[in-house]
Amino acid sequence: MCGIAAVLSRHAPIDPETVRAATAALHHRGPDGRGHWRSDDGLVALGHARLSIIDLATGDQPISNEDGTIQVVVNGEFYDFERIRAQLEERGHRFRTKSDSEIVLHLYEDYGPECLHRLRGEYAFVIWDGRNHRLIAGRDRFGVKPLFYAQHDGALYLGSEAKALFAMGVPARWSHDAVYAGGFIIPGERTLFRGVNAVPPGHYLRATRESHRLHQYWDVAYPRDDRAGPPRSEEEYVEGFREVLEDAVKTRLRADVPVGCYLSGGIDSCAVLGLASLHHDGPVRAYTLTFDGPQYDESVIAEEMARRAGATYQPIPMRQEDLANHFRAAVIQSEIPFINGHTVAKFMLSRAVRESGYKVVLTGEGSDEILAGYPHFRRDMLLHHTVGQDPDETERLLAKLVEDNQVSRGLLLPEGDSDTGDVCRTLLGYVPSWLEAMTGTGARMRGLMRDDFLEPHRRTDVIATLLSSLDVRGRLQGRNAVHGALYLWAKTALPHYILSNLGDRMEMAHSVEGRVPFMDHNVAEYLHQVPVSMKIRGMTEKYILREAVKDVITDTVYERQKHPFLSPPATLHPEEPLHALMQDTLRGSAAASVPFLDQKKLVAALDGLRDPDADFGHQVITDQVLTLALSFVFMQEALGITA
C-alpha cells in the first residue's frame, strides 16, 4: 500500500514542488521511498510514496512501459499477479520490476481501461497515457483504497487523501450540502469538502486536457427475486462459499514481509484467522484490542480463538486516556468524522502492529456488508419478509433485537423519530432500517447546528438525493428488502465509513497494509447469487459463513450473535480524559469557529449529560452526536478548512 498523487494541467507547466508537497503529505502511507515524474512539456506530473510489501528491491514508482510513453503510480495490491505477468510476458511485454503493481501498466497497453476487469485486489492507480494524451484513474470495486480528485485553477489534481490535494493548492472548504446530509448518506463521489470528489468504487476517471468524466466498470448486482438462478442445496451453497472465501484468504497471504491478522470476538476476523492458519507457514500473529467493561471487551473470546488456530496472541489494551490522547491525530488521518471512539482504537491498534515489526494484516472488514450481519438487516428481514410469520412473534423478535443491541442504540437500529422523506418508500416500497437509523442520527446532529446554516437546507430530501445518483430501476427495484438495503449500504456507509475510518485510513496512518478477503470480488459475486435465507436464518445472521467455517472456529464464536465493534462512550465515564477532552473542546473557541455548529446547543447537550435520570440508552445516543461534533472541530482546526 502506498500514497499516490497526480496533476494534469490545462495550460501552465506544473511546478515540480507541487507533487512533492503531495507525497510529503502522504508520507505516512509510504515511508519507504518517494518517486516523482514530470512530462517533458511540464503539463503532467505523478508522485508516489512507497510502502514496500512485494519486490522490496526493484518496485519503486512511477513505473514506465518499454518505450516510456505510459507511466503509472499504484496504491494497493493486485492478487494472482504472477499468473497475469506470465501471460503478459508470453505476449512480448518486458517488465522493469518484480512488483505486482507493474501488471496494470502492461494490461492497459493491451486492453485500455477495460484492463480493470482483469484486476483482482484492493487498489487505486493513475496512468498517464502519453500516446493518447489521456489520464486514467481507477479504483477497486468496493472502494477499499481511496482516490480523490479536484479541478482547480486550470488543473486536475488527484491524490490518495484530501490532504494531498490541499498540499497541492486545492482550497480546503466545507461542503455544506454534505455536512447537512451527515457525511455518510451521500453519493459515492461526494465528500465533506467543496470541490473535492472521490472516484467512486467500481469506477475510473478518464481525463484529457479538455475535460474529465467518470465511467463505471463494476457494480454490486443482486438478481431480481423473479429471476432467481437454478436451485441449489444448502450444502452446495456452503461448499461453494467456503471455496471462494478460503481462496481469498490464501491469496492475501502472499507478501515478501510477515503477515498478521486483526482478531476480535466476531466471526468475521475469527473466520479469516482460522482459514489463514491452514495456509500460513507457522503461527499467525493475531492482534486484539481490549477494553474496560464486559459490554465492549472481547478478549476472552478472541484469545480462545487464537489458541484454536495455533496463533500467537497479542492483546492491545485500550483505555479512555489512550482514546483522548490520540483522537485528534486519528481524525486528521481519517478526514471523516467519528461516531464513536472505535476509530481511534483502530488507529492505536495499527500503531501497535507497526511497532511489533509487522506491516501487513488480514482483517474481517466487509463481511457484514455482504452477509447482512448488522441488526438492521435482521430488522428488515422481520419487517418485510413476512410470508408465514406470526405477527405476535415478529413483534417479540423485534423487541428482542432492540434489547440485545443496547450498546449501539440509535446507530444500527432506528431510535425515535427520523425523517426519511417520501421518495424512498415510493420507489422501493420500503425504507431500509439503516437509513431510518442514520437519518435519525443526522437529525440529532442537526439539533446541534446553527439555525442560519440549516435554513437553506430544510426542504432537502437527503435520501432522494442519494437515490437520484443510482440506477434504482436496474439495481434496486424487484429485489427483496434485505438485498436492497445491502446495495444502498455498499454505496454509502461501506466506502464512506467502514473501509475508511475502520480500515485503510487508520491502518495507513501507521504504514500498515490492511487486506480484506471479504471484499474480494469473487467472494462478493458468489454471495450476490445466494438467497437471503442463507444469509439470515431466523434471528441468526451470517448463517452461510457460520456453516462454511465451522471447522476452523470455536464453538463460542459459531454460536455467538453479532456484536458491533465499539469502544466505551466518552459520556459514560465523566471522570476519564476522553470525557474531559469532549467537554473542554466543545465549550472552547475552536468549536465556536466551526461555521455550522451552534455552541449554545452544544453546551446545553453537554450540561444534559449531568442529568442523574438519564438512562444508558440516552447517553449512548447523545455520545454519538457529540463525538461527531468533536471530530468536526479537530478536522477544521488541523486541516485548515474554511466555510
Q: Which residue has the higher pLDDT, 415 or 485?
A: 485
pLDDT of res. 316: 95
pLDDT of res. 565: 86
The whole-number average pLDDT for the span 568-572 is 85
Residue 432, pLDDT > 90, answer yes
And the C-alpha cell for 422?
Answer: 417520501
Residue 421, pLDDT > 90, answer no
217: CB partners within 8 A, 6+ apart: 113, 114, 116, 117, 138, 202, 203, 204
Measured CA to CA in angstroms, residue 498 lies from 16, 435, 490 at distances of 35, 16, 10
Is the distance from CB of 29 to CB of 160 less than 8 angstroms?
yes
β 360-362/260-262 pair status: parallel
Mean pLDDT of the chain: 93
Residue 228, pLDDT > 80, answer no
Phi first, then psi, for residue 455 (nearest 5°) are: -55, -45
Phi first, then psi, for residue 57 (nearest 5°) are: -95, -40
Q: How far apart are CA 530 and CA 381, in angstroms?
A: 15
Is the distance from CB of 567 to CB of 291 less than 8 angstroms?
yes
| Residue 177: how many other CB atoms lie within 10 Å | 16
Is the distance from CB of 486 to CB of 370 less than 8 angstroms?
yes
| Residue 253: how many other CB atoms lie within 10 Å | 18
Is the distance from CB of 318 to CB of 289 less than 8 angstroms?
yes
pLDDT of res. 548: 98
Cis peptide before 62 (omega within 30 of 0): yes
Residue 614, pLDDT > 70, answer no
Q: DSSP of 528-541, one letter per residue?
A: HTS-GGGTEETTEE
pLDDT of res. 568: 86
Residue 613, pLDDT > 80, answer no
Q: How far apart are CA 16 and CA 23, in angstroms?
A: 12
Is the distance from CB of 534 to CB of 370 less than 8 angstroms?
no
With cut-offs at 50, 70 and 90, classify the pLDDT of residue 574. Answer: confident
Q: How far apart are CA 614 and CA 623, in angstroms?
A: 12
Q: Which residue has the higher pLDDT, 386 or 23?
A: 23
Lowest average pLDDT, out of 3-17, 404-418, 431-445, 490-504, goes to 404-418
Give the percent of the chain with pLDDT over 70: 98
Q: How far apart are CA 14 and CA 17, in angstroms?
A: 8
Q: How far apart are CA 222 and CA 487, in angstroms?
A: 8
Using the CB atoms, write b or e for 359-371: b if 16+ within 10 Å: bbbbbbbbbbbbb
Measured CA to CA in angstroms, residue 76 lies from 285, 493, 495, 517 at distances of 22, 21, 16, 14
Residue with cell 482516490: 147
pLDDT of res. 416: 74
With cut-offs at 50, 70 and 90, classify the pLDDT of residue 57. Answer: low
Residue 56, pLDDT > 80, answer no
Lowest average pLDDT, out of 124-128, 198-202, 224-228, 458-462, goes to 224-228
With cut-offs at 50, 70 and 90, classify the pLDDT of residue 59. Answer: confident
pLDDT of res. 1: 61
Residue 406, pLDDT > 90, answer no
The whole-number average pLDDT for the span 192-203 is 98
Cα angle at 409 between 406 and 410, to 5 degrees?
A: 175
This prediction has a pTM of: 0.95
β 513-515/360-362 pair status: parallel
Is the distance from CB of 365 to CB of 534 less than 8 angstroms?
no
Residue 569, pLDDT > 70, answer yes
The whole-number average pLDDT for the span 440-456 is 95
Q: How far apart are CA 636 and CA 193, in angstroms?
A: 11
Residue 292 gets which letter from DSSP?
A: S
The whole-number average pLDDT for the span 510-521 is 96
Per-residue pLDDT tens digits for 525-535: 999 999 999 99
pLDDT of res. 562: 83
Lowest average pLDDT, out of 131-135, 299-303, 408-412, goes to 408-412
Residue 520, pLDDT > 90, answer yes
**H or E stretch covering 107:** helix 102-111
Using the CB atoms, write b or e for 435-444: b if 16+ within 10 Å: bbbbbbbbeb
Residue 328, pLDDT > 70, answer yes
Residues recognised as catalytic: 2
Is the distance from CB of 475 to CB of 220 less than 8 angstroms?
yes
pLDDT of res. 55: 66
Q: How far apart are CA 289 and CA 252, in angstroms?
A: 22
With cut-offs at 50, 70 and 90, classify the pLDDT of residue 98. Answer: confident
The whole-number average pLDDT for the span 335-356 is 95
HSE of 441 in the Cβ direction (CA atoms, 13 Å)? 30
38: CB partners within 8 A, 6+ apart: 14, 16, 19, 44, 45, 46
